[in-house]
Structure 1
Amino acid sequence: MNRVLAWATARRAAGRAGWRGTDALLRGAFGGLGLVGAGVALHRVDLVVIGLPLLVSTVLALSVPPGRPVRVTAQKLPRSVEAGDSARVAITVDHGGGVEFTAVRLPLPGRPGVGPVHLLPGADRELRTHLRWNTWGEGVDLRPDHLAGGRDGLLVSGPVVGVESRRTVLPPLAPPPAGPLPARLTGVVGAHRSPRPGDGAEPRAVRPFRPGDRVRRIDWRVSLRAGAATGEALGSPHVRERHAEADADLVFALDSRADVGPDLGSWSTAEPGGPVRRGGSLDTAVRAIAALAAAHLRQGDRVGLVDLGRPQLGVPPGVGRRQLLRLRHQLVACTRSAGWSPRPVLRPGQVPAGAAVVVLSPFLDDAVVDAAIRAAGHTRLLLAVDVLPAELVADPETPWGGAVRRVLLAEHRVRLAALRAHGVAVVPPEGVAAALARHRRGRR
């Protein structure tokens, strides 16, 4: 009697824990009982022989009902990882016994379908899988959905949607060469030439010695030649001036209002598996900003970020490795909130005086061109980086696809020509460093 009460208590606990009967339980219980009853009523031994093992096996399988709910948890990973990183993840299965198998499904981002399903025996409590983050962005990278089965599959628990594991994959850092930038007058040390004299390495001028000059700046060769020209053993001392070296401010203005790819037919649809199109305009702009920011921060410049569509997401100029990490996280935040806004915002207060501004946009509307032209009047250098895909493919599903493509390209050429007419240099993403270098040579 005590065993019967314990079994009934365990069955009620299993029901509260989410366990329920399957069709196999109904077939085993009612089928076996019906065959045995029919065999006794009809005096058919063959029916009893068939139904009795079925009924007995069902009762034996239910003699040890499962206990508490099955919990499937994934190993904790860092909140932010690098694009291209990989990791081995341990999936832990916790149950109170009476479980014959556990089916764990691992949907992975960017892959169609339900994902691979792993079937674990009841004795196994751990599953290891491999994750690789091939593209940057933010989203769910692991969710262990699971379903558990009792003995002979008569009771099941689930399916249960697992806890989502979200990760921020930072944009990759390509190693482009960092071109020189225009100097900022307020700096006293740095990697770029300043117009004022100082203690840099680049010669500026030679002049006679004046009170207050340092003796170590005297150029004795020039002083001796000046004395020989005047017939004196030592002429008036002459001092060689050098340019001061200053840091530069570089501000990237990201146009997150539009993300377009080469296929014109896909411009009105979202990218499956993430908010950013692979190889699209926003992807190209973010990768270029991350690479250039890393290069210029490495040489001591101050780098900032402005989001033309959402100004509140900007980052003021800063230096160091923490600034690079902050910029990369903010780029992901900008793409997460990306969307069309009718008026881009690039105010003078967002850009420090004397800073170089690089606007990255596909230039699909006149508003961003007007904003860039207005900003060109407040900065020493403004570059417009065209991130529109080089080869646009017309939509084959409409007879107007070719005409739409020609109109878009014609309007795009007119906008770029307007930028050049107002003194704004237009370069591709890979030509930013070279454009900055040409600007420096022109200033010299």
Structure 2
Amino acid sequence: MTEREPGETKPSGGSAWSLSPGVTAVAIVAGVCLVGAFVMSRIELVLVAAPLLIAALWGWGSRPAGATATASATIAGDDPDGRVAVEATASAAGGPDAVHVRVSRADRAPEDAVLTPYAASRLRFRVAVSHSGPQRILSLAARAIGPDAAWTGEPSVPAVTERVVRPRAVALRSTPLPHRLLGLTGAHTSARPGDGGEFRDVDRFRPGDRLRRIDWKATARRGQRPGELYARRTTATSDVAVQLVLDARDDVPGAVADWAAPYPRPGLTSLDLAREAAVSLARAYAAQADRVGFDDLSDAGRALPPRAGARHLHRVLRAVELTSAHGSATERARAPRLAQGAIVFVLSTFLDDQATRLALTWRAAGHRVVAVDVLPGRRAEDLPSRELLALRFVDLERGLRLDRLRASGADVLVWAAQDRDAVLRRLSAPARRR
């Protein structure tokens, strides 16, 4: 995990006090009791209203002088169990009796606490991080509470700590290749003759062949005329252009009931699996000196063309780490341009038609397309009958989209499946064997 920002905010400038609703309520109750005592001639109502009225007047007159509240939070480090340690401070000027603190985390509803000024100045949190990518670790806001809680200050500017969590990379033993290798150099054996690959055949020496390729034994055995030479030919090596297309327009968890929830339950989401798949594929192909590119369907400005090298691999990995859900379903006017003969990995949940349409376009252009389904295993035990019926329609539509991709010649890979390595091994086999 790498820290993105220190997460420290500037002090807020709230200097105005607000009367507590409790003081207003006490004054209203005291006034009602006095009116009732006058109308009904009941002296006991005066005895009830008198202390309430005195308390309201006392609270009204005990307004503090200042109300400036500040909050700051910094990431102290990582604990051995994988949690992030955050040190925070909340303080208020003017000598308040207490400090109201509101703590917000990414996967939970905001939590409120009323602390003494000494306790609020020494806060420490341990936050569990269960997702990858950019995320808000903790947000802290504070406000001052006056004597007897009669006055409250303005909330401070929230202190926010953010971090970019690197996704886990899975070691891949097999990597699919395009149908045709067009590069001039690389680690993969192509079908055309050239230097650097496996043995191809023995043929007559032609202009352009190297002298060290002459096979004197084959020349002595096959030569029919003086000066007729035979050379050993090998297959050329080539590299691969890989384009990783990540659909980051939505981020859905495994529990279907939490798809529309503001605070879903902990667990892997579709973007967690997509980042893991993209990082794993990028590292596997870069280890073979292949060219790797990246594109985000939700943000056309983050596209990276396929290139080789450790520096470009770092750019691709950083682009994957910074990918977050935008929630935008805008249609692209044209499909992203790809390198000639590239293999395309479309990482999406395929909950709509845009990723499918782009994959079909690239497949029709002659590219090899691998549709990587990153939707986590669905859990629908908490759904009512109506939502279960809607989920069946969603599954049917997803199945039709994936069937269309298979019918067009594209390959489908379910990243969360247990037979993922076996499917990758089958997709990496030569076409004649598959």
Task: Work out the CA distance in 1 between the residues paired with 2:356 and 2:195.
Answer: 41
Number of the residue aligned with 1:339: 328
**How far did 1:357 drift?**
0.9
TM-score, length-scaled by structure 2: 0.67
Number of the residue aligned with 1:299: 288
1:344-383 pair list within 5 angstroms: 347=335, 350-366=337-353, 368-383=355-370
Relative distance call for 1:425 and 1:20 in structure 2 (3 A) is closer
Matched, 1:423 2:415: no
| Highest RCO, 1 vs 2 (Cα 8 Å, sep ≥ 6) | 2
Gapped runs of 5+ residues in structure 1? 1-14, 25-61
Q: CA RMSD in A?
A: 4.7
> Contact 1:306 / 1:350 at 8 angstroms: preserved in 2?
no
Number of the residue aligned with 1:244: 236
1:426-441 pair list within 5 angstroms: 426-429=412-415, 430=420, 433-438=424-429, 440=430
Task: Work out the CA distance in 2 between the residues paired with 1:132 and 1:286.
Answer: 19
Number of the residue aligned with 2:277: 288
Matched, 1:114 2:111: yes
- Going by fraction, where is helix more abundant, 1 or 2? 1
> Contact 2:189 / 2:235 at 8 angstroms: preserved in 1?
yes
Q: How many equivalent residue pairs?
A: 377
Q: What is the identity percentage for the equivalent residue pairs of Structure 1 and Structure 2?
A: 31
What whole-Å deviation, never above 9, does each CA across 1:189-241 have from its counterpart, x for those lacking one?
Answer: 3222233333324223322333443333334xxx3255256799x99653322
Number of the residue aligned with 1:174: 170
SS of the residue 1:420 aligns to: helix
Relative distance call for 1:188 and 1:391 in structure 2 (3 A) is same
> Contact 1:356 / 1:381 at 8 angstroms: preserved in 2?
yes
Number of the residue aligned with 2:139: 143
Task: Work out the CA distance in 2 between the residues paired with 1:417 and 1:330.
Answer: 30
1:153-232 pair list within 5 angstroms: 160-182=156-178, 187-219=183-215, 223-224=216-217, 226-228=219-221
Number of the residue aligned with 2:37: none
**How far did 1:170 drift?**
3.7
What whole-Å deviation, never above 9, does each CA across 1:127-150 have from its counterpart, x for those lacking one?
Answer: 544444331233432233335679
**How far did 1:426 drift?**
2.2
Task: Work out the CA distance in 2 between the residues paired with 1:335 and 1:297.
Answer: 24
* Structure having the higher Rg: 1
Task: Work out the CA distance in 2 between the residues paired with 1:70 and 1:262.
Answer: 40
What whole-Å deviation, never above 9, does each CA across 1:297-344 have from its counterpart, x for those lacking one?
Answer: 233222222334554443322334444443344446553323334x46
Number of the residue aligned with 1:47: none
Task: Work out the CA distance in 2 between the residues paired with 1:299 and 1:117.
Answer: 57
What whole-Å deviation, never above 9, does each CA across 1:149-177 have from its counterpart, x for those lacking one?
Answer: 79999998665343223333343323333
SS of the residue 2:190 aligns to: strand
Relative distance call for 1:116 and 1:286 in structure 2 (3 A) is farther
